[in-house]
Amino acid sequence: MSRSGGFGRGGGLIALAAACLGVASATSPVAAAPSSAEVVFTDSGPVRGVVGGDHRVFQGVPYAAPPTRWAAPRPAVPWREPRDATRPGNACAQPQAFSPGSEHEDCLYVNVTTPRLGRALPVLVWLHGGGFQFGSGAEYGAERMAALGDVVVVTVNYRLGVFGFLAHPQLAGSGNYGLADQQAALRWVRRNAAAFGGDPGNVTIAGESSGSRSVCGHLVAPASQGLFHRAILQSEPCTMTDWPAADGTPEAEPPGFPRSRQVAERQGEAVAKALGCADVACLRTKTPAELLTTTEWFAPTYGTSLLPIDPALAGKVARVPVLHGITRDEYRIADGLNEAFGLPPLTAEQYGARVANFVGPDHEAEVLSGYPVTASPSEAWSAVVTDAVFARPMVDFHRQLERRVDTYAYEFADPAAPWMSNLGKPAFPTGAYHTSELQYLFRTANFDEPLTDGQRVLGDEMIGYWTRFAKTGDPNGHGAPRWRKGEPAHQLAPGSVGPVDFAARHRYDLWRSIP
């Protein structure tokens, strides 16, 4: 929610991004009580983790040295004695929102979860969401995925916000330090996967929301090529470039979306000025707390050496198998969070005004006719934005990809996905909202409501699809309902797993016809 109220610029994206981890909060502990210690020797030194009944967990393992502000990551400083890897490392500096926040710049750590036994296993590297402003790798418990899917899961911390994505004419790596951190983590995986039972020649990068955006960046970044062999993108297709402000007006420069170097450096100069600085040298003297007072949103910058082209073009350059998809009711997270934080429910009049601002007078009547208020204005508005902003780009992205690489698409569609337990429920059904699928794959913060038996079965099916894809580049097998390449997408819902005509469900032809 924005500081002025509403789900729009500097606000809607704050709520959405902070929700990218099920609304990030304090890290939950390892689920299974340790029965013994386990030492693994990394290339920097030994780490001592914990062993559960069917898995091992190593947390807070440095993949790089404590970073110099706005400089490329450097190798970790070696150590000799076994390092305690039973607790997460620091979360990267981020503002207080739904969590206590953090002022730590020493934060470049990974968490490694493995099956109890195994060698040369596929490795899945998870890049967390949070709008490039919030979150940490430790907020995703991967014990079930590792044990059930027989894979090694690595979750990554990377610099966020002003620390990870500030661009400025005086900075050589303008806007992409967080992506450089992710590349350093992938290089660490290549060097150390075998020590944890993983195969460095079989690495999948995966992420949700801004984590998916990160994957888009690596699909086009020259220095990322060869560091991974497959890609999973959840809830933000690379071709997603639009976002509505609180009143429905499309944002000219959507906050938290990749931007050109010219736009990003102009933003960086404005940030410096607001903090009383004329140059980067002055910014380096500011404390983390002072830097975190900025209300600007940061994201990767293209037109740079690390990211030469817009990640929206990833579908034209990808050379690895891709699994991607969205949730059926992505945008219900927006009005859901607005209500959870005290804003009144959307009215029919406000809905009509948002649609008019969003599509303009030439298409207003057509959209209102296609998306009438039959249950609640929030459900109607959410359907409009989900179809226009998420679903249409997903179809476009898929069509770009399928001509070049093996491509599999899904739609998470559980209408009864549990809402976040640390927030009040809105008055309307939240359905398969943005981030709702995460609790089916991971043990995540702020999802205390247990899954039903049917939902747990769905979670096991999803883990099966994700990890089979990580192993072979094909999610099919083990007698599970078959995913077909191309359209339609594969629906994932309790008791209803199978093909669905995604383009028709989300009125792709209508939105294709609206500029």
User: Structural domain boundaries of the chain?
Assistant: 12-512
Among 255, 261, 293, residue whose Cα is nearest residue 274: 293
Using one digit for the tens of pLDDT, what is the confidence trace for 154-196?
999 999 999 999 999 999 888 999 999 999 999 999 999 999 9
The whole-number pLDDT of residue 7 equals 38
Fold for the domain defined by 12-512? Rossmann fold (3.40.50)
Q: Within 10 Å of residue 247's Cβ, how many Cβ atoms?
A: 14
Using one digit for the tens of pLDDT, what is the confidence trace for 354-409?
999 999 999 999 999 999 999 999 999 999 999 999 999 999 999 999 999 999 99
Q: Is 434 a catalytic residue?
A: yes
Among 8, 15, 2, 16, residue whose Cα is nearest residue 357: 8
The whole-number pLDDT of residue 28 equals 38
Catalytic: which of 25, 209, 376, 378? 209
CA distance 133 to 127: 13
Is the Cβ–Cβ distance between 223 and 306 less than 8 Å? yes
The whole-number pLDDT of residue 98 equals 64
Percent of the chain with pLDDT over 90: 86
The whole-number pLDDT of residue 375 equals 93
Q: For residue 8, name the pLDDT band (cuts at 50, 70, 90).
A: very low
Mean pLDDT, to the nearest integer, of 474-486? 92
Using one digit for the tens of pLDDT, what is the confidence trace for 232-289?
999 999 999 999 999 999 999 998 899 999 999 999 999 999 999 999 999 999 999 9
| Helix, strand, coil percentages, rounded to 5, for the chain | 35, 20, 50
Catalytic: which of 38, 139, 330, 437? 330
CA distance 42 to 190: 11
Cis preceding-peptide flag for 488 (omega within 30 of 0): yes
Q: Is 102 a catalytic residue?
A: no
Using one digit for the tens of pLDDT, what is the confidence trace for 47-72?
999 999 999 999 999 999 999 999 99
Q: Which residues contact 450 (CB under 8 A, 6 or more apart)?
A: none
The whole-number pLDDT of residue 2 equals 32
Pairing of strands 109-115, 140-141: unpaired
Least trusted range by pLDDT, from 9-23, 300-314, 439-453, 475-489 = 9-23
> Whole-angstrom distance between the N-terminal and C-terminal Cα of the chain?
28
Using one digit for the tens of pLDDT, what is the confidence trace for 80-120?
999 999 999 999 999 987 667 899 999 999 999 999 988 99
Least trusted range by pLDDT, from 31-40, 200-209, 468-477 = 31-40
Among 47, 106, 36, residue whose Cα is nearest residue 80: 47
CA distance 358 to 363: 9
**Counting Cβ atoms within 10 Å, is residue 16 exposed (0-12), middle (13-18) or buried (19+)?**
buried
Is the Cβ–Cβ distance between 181 and 188 less than 8 Å? no
Catalytic: which of 324, 398, 434, 506? 434
The answer, as to whether pTM is greater than 0.85, is yes
Could you tell me which residues are beta bridge partners of residue 412? Answer: 327, 492
The whole-number pLDDT of residue 205 equals 98
The whole-number pLDDT of residue 37 equals 58
Mean pLDDT, to the nearest integer, of 33-43? 72
The whole-number pLDDT of residue 20 equals 43
Q: Is 330 a catalytic residue?
A: yes
CA distance 358 to 361: 9
Type and span of the H or E element at 157: none
